[in-house]
Chains A and B, each alone.
Chain A
Amino acid sequence: MSLVAEAFVTQLAATEPWPENAALYQQLKEEQILLSDNASSLAVQAFLQMCNLPVRVVCRANAEYMSPSGKVPFIHVGNQVVSELGPIVQFVKAKGHSLSDGLDEVQKAEMKAYMELVNNMLLTAELYLQWCDDVTVEEITHPRYGSPYPWPLNRILSYQKQWEVRRKMKAIGWAGKTLEQVLEDVDQCCQALSQRLGTQPYFFNKQPTELDALVFGHLFTILTTQLTTDELSEKVKNYSNLTAFCRRIEQQYFEGHDKDSSTTVAARSAKRSLLR
C-alpha cells in the first residue's frame, strides 16, 4: 500500500489499545495445516506471547482466502486485519509494544539479516519439501491441503497451489536442487543460527525479540512434525543449543496456559513432545 495509506493506518492503530478479543486465524490444526503455515503461525503466536498480548487462535478452513495477503496467519484486532509476521510486528509497534527497542542500530541490522536468513533458507526449504518432493506431496500435502473440501475441489486446489509454489521455486533457482542439497542448506542455516545463539538464552542477550519468535516457530514445528522421513528434524537435532532454546521458549511462554488446547502447542496429532 502506498506510503500515505500506511501512515494513515499506523496512526489509526496507535490510537486504540489492544482489545481483549483479538483473534489469530489459521487453517485447521488437526487435518489441514501444513508445515510452513504452522511454523509461521507459531512464530506469530510466540511473538504475541512475548509481548504479553492476549490472542485467541481460531481455526478456519478458508483462512488462506480470508487473509489480506493470501498468507496465514493473520490477526484480527479491532477494525484491522494484518497478516504475516513482518507487518504484525510493525502493527504491534505502532500500538506501543516492541521487543527490539533496546537494540542498537547494528544489532537491529543483524536481527533483520537473521530474519531474512530464516525466511530465505528455512521457509523456502519447508515449502520445497512440502510441494516439490514427490513422496511428501503424495502422502502428506495433497491429502491434508484439500481435506475440508469435497472431491474434486480438493485435488484442484492442491494442484493449483503446487503449481504456484513450483513456479516460484523455479524463479528463485531452487527447482533444480535435489532433496539432499536442500537438507544441506537447512543444515547450514541451523549451523549459522546455532553459532549465533551460542550459549546465550536468547539471540540478543537476555530479552527475546521477534527473531527468537521466528526461529522458535520454525524449529519447533520442524522438530515436532511427523513427515515421511526424519531427515529434516535430525538436521535440527544435531544442534543441542537450538533444541534447548526451543524447549526454553515452550516452557516459558506456552506451558503456563491452559485455556483452549490451541494455545498449547502440545495438542496436535502426530506430534512428538520435546520433553521426551
Chain B
Amino acid sequence: MAAPMELSCWGGDWGLPSLHPESLTVMAYAKFSGAPLTVNTINNSWRAPKGDVPVLISEDIVISQPAKILNFLRKQKYNADYELSAKQGADTLAYIALLEEKLLPALLHTFWVEAENYCSVTKPWFASRIAFPLSLYLPGRMSREALNRILLTRGGPPLYSLTEVEAQIYRDAKECLNLLSKRLGTSQFFFGDTPTTLDAFVFGFLAPIYKVCFPRVQLQEHLKQLPNLCRFCDDILTCYFRLTVLGFAYFNEIKTQAIYDYLRAVLQRTCMLHMGRGRSNAAAV
C-alpha cells in the first residue's frame, strides 16, 4: 500500500479549491488520477511549510515543484496519461511550455502587479492566511518576485516602460487563450473523454482567471468570450471538485447559520429581559 501523501497548498475562494495556479494543477491531477492526497491548506498558523508551495510530503520525502510532484505521483502508479499516444504526450509538453511562456506572465501580472487588484484582493487574501508578522512581509515579497520575473523574461528592449510590457504580455495571453480554445474545440477534454496532465495544467492556469473577482479584469473578460474554455473549467469544477467546494460552502453556511441563530437567541433574551424589566418597572410605578 502506498504511503499516505499530504499536500500543503494555498486554500481557495470564489468557488475554487485553491487560488494558486500550481496548487490547483496538482490538486486537479490528483483528482484525475485518483491519488489519495490529504490536502492541508495553509492557514493562519506557524506550521506553514517553508519554501515553495505546493509541497508534497510522503513519509520522509518532500517534493516541491508541480512537475516533480506529478512525476512522483506517476511513479506511484497514479498516472492520468496512460492512454495517451507518444505524439499526444509530446503535445502535452509543448502546450505546457506555451502556457508558461505566454499565459503565466499575464496571470502573475493580474494577481500580483496590477496595483488595484493587488491592494484590494490579493494582498488581503494572502495576508489573512499567513501568520503575523510574516503577513506583513510575504505578500510584498511574492509581488516583487512576480514583477521581477515578468521584467526579466519579457521586459527587454525594445519595450522600455512597464506599460508597454503590460500591453505585450496581455496581447500574448489573449492569443494563447485563443489558441487553447481552438485546440479544445468541442471536445470535453484536450485528449478525448478522459482528463490528463494537460487538462490539469490548463485548468490550474485558467480557473483563477475565470473565477476570482478582481477590479481590473481584462483577461477574465476575454476568457468569458471563449465559451468552450469556460465550459471546460466549470465541468472540472462540478465533476471533480464539487464535494470539496460544496463542502466548503456548506460548512460556511452551517457556521454562518449557527452564528446567526446564536445571535438571534441572545438578542431575544436581551429584549425579553428589557421588556420584563420595563413591565416590572411599570408594575412598580
The interface of chain A, by Cβ under 8 A from chain B, is: 1-3, 68-71, 105-106, 108-110, 112-114, 116-117, 119-121, 167-168, 171-173, 188-189, 191-193, 195-196, 198
Which A residues are in CB contact (< 8 Å) with B86? Answer: 195
Residues A192 and B93 in contact, CB atoms below 8 Å apart: yes
Q: Which of B93, B148, B182 contacts A189 (CB 8 A)?
A: B93
Residue B136 at the chain A interface, CB threshold 8 Å: no
Distance, CA A70 to CA B159, complexed state (A): 11
Total interface residues on B, CB under 8 Å, equals: 30
Distance, CA A20 to CA B95, complexed state (A): 38
Residues B152 and A112 in contact, CB atoms below 8 Å apart: no
Q: Which of B89, B97, B157, B182 contacts A117 (CB 8 A)?
A: B97
Q: In the complex, which residue of chain B has the Cβ closest to the Cβ of A105?
A: B182
Q: Which of A71, A120, A196 contacts B91 (CB 8 A)?
A: A196
Residues B152 and A119 in contact, CB atoms below 8 Å apart: no
Residues B93 and A117 in contact, CB atoms below 8 Å apart: yes
Residues B158 and A172 in contact, CB atoms below 8 Å apart: no
Q: Mark B180-221, 1 if CB is under 8 A from A, else 0.
A: 101101000000000000000000000000000000000000
Which A residues are in CB contact (< 8 Å) with B102? Answer: 116
Residue B164 at the chain A interface, CB threshold 8 Å: yes
With both chains docked as a complex, state the minimum distance between the C-beta of A90 and any C-beta of chain B, in angstroms: 12
A196-B152 contact, Cβ under 8 Å, with A1-B158, A70-B157: no
Q: In the complex, which residue of chain A has the Cβ closest to the Cβ of B183?
A: A109
Which B residues are in CB contact (< 8 Å) with A70? Answer: 156-157
The interface of chain B, by Cβ under 8 A from chain A, is: 65, 86-87, 89-91, 93-95, 97-98, 100-102, 145, 148-149, 152-153, 156-159, 164, 167, 179-180, 182-183, 185
Residues B90 and A193 in contact, CB atoms below 8 Å apart: yes
Which A residues are in CB contact (< 8 Å) with B100? Answer: 116, 120
Residues A195 and B90 in contact, CB atoms below 8 Å apart: yes
Distance, CA A172 to CA B183, complexed state (A): 27
Residues A195 and B183 in contact, CB atoms below 8 Å apart: no
A121-B158 contact, Cβ under 8 Å, with A1-B164, A2-B167, A109-B182: no
What total of A-B pairs shows CB separation below 8 Å? 81
Which A residues are in CB contact (< 8 Å) with B89? Answer: 192, 195
Residues A109 and B179 in contact, CB atoms below 8 Å apart: yes
Distance, CA A171 to CA B90, complexed state (A): 26
Which A residues are in CB contact (< 8 Å) with B98? Answer: 112-113, 116-117
Which A residues are in CB contact (< 8 Å) with B185? Answer: 106
Q: In the complex, which residue of chain A has the Cβ closest to the Cβ of B104?
A: A172
Can you identify 26 A-B contacts, CB atoms within 8 angstroms? A1-B158, A1-B159, A2-B167, A68-B158, A106-B182, A109-B182, A109-B183, A110-B91, A110-B94, A112-B98, A113-B94, A113-B179, A114-B94, A116-B94, A116-B97, A116-B98, A116-B101, A117-B93, A120-B100, A121-B97, A171-B152, A192-B89, A192-B90, A193-B90, A195-B89, A196-B91
Residues A173 and B65 in contact, CB atoms below 8 Å apart: yes
Residues A171 and B148 in contact, CB atoms below 8 Å apart: yes
A-B pairs with the 5 shortest C-beta distances? A192-B90, A113-B94, A109-B179, A117-B97, A120-B97
Q: In the complex, which residue of chain A has the Cβ closest to the Cβ of B101?
A: A116
Which B residues are in CB contact (< 8 Å) with A68? Answer: 157-158
Q: Which of A2, A117, A198 contacts B164 (CB 8 A)?
A: A2
Q: Which of A106, A168, A193 contacts B183 (CB 8 A)?
A: A106
Which A residues are in CB contact (< 8 Å) with B182? Answer: 105-106, 108-109
Distance, CA A172 to CA B98, complexed state (A): 15
Which B residues are in CB contact (< 8 Å) with A3? Answer: 167
With both chains docked as a complex, state the minimum distance between the C-beta of B202 and any C-beta of chain A, in angstroms: 12
Residues B93 and A172 in contact, CB atoms below 8 Å apart: no
Residues B101 and A110 in contact, CB atoms below 8 Å apart: no
With both chains docked as a complex, state the minimum distance between the C-beta of A36 and any C-beta of chain B, in angstroms: 15
Residues B94 and A192 in contact, CB atoms below 8 Å apart: yes
A171-B149 contact, Cβ under 8 Å, with A112-B98, A116-B101, A121-B97: yes
Which A residues are in CB contact (< 8 Å) with B87? Answer: 195-196, 198
Which A residues are in CB contact (< 8 Å) with B180? Answer: 109
With both chains docked as a complex, state the minimum distance between the C-beta of B149 and any C-beta of chain A, in angstroms: 5
Q: In the complex, which residue of chain A has the Cβ closest to the Cβ of B68?
A: A181
Q: In the complex, which residue of chain A has the Cβ closest to the Cβ of B92?
A: A192
A191-B179 contact, Cβ under 8 Å, with A69-B158, A171-B149, A172-B153: no
With both chains docked as a complex, state the minimum distance between the C-beta of A199 and any C-beta of chain B, in angstroms: 12
Which B residues are in CB contact (< 8 Å) with A117? Answer: 93-94, 97-98
| Most central of A2, A3, A171 by chain B CB within 10 Å | A171
Which A residues are in CB contact (< 8 Å) with B183? Answer: 106, 109-110
Distance, CA A172 to CA B154, complexed state (A): 12
Q: In the complex, which residue of chain B has the Cβ closest to the Cβ of A165?
A: B152
Which B residues are in CB contact (< 8 Å) with A195? Answer: 86-87, 89-90
With both chains docked as a complex, state the minimum distance between the C-beta of A192 and any C-beta of chain B, in angstroms: 4
Distance, CA A109 to CA B176, complexed state (A): 9
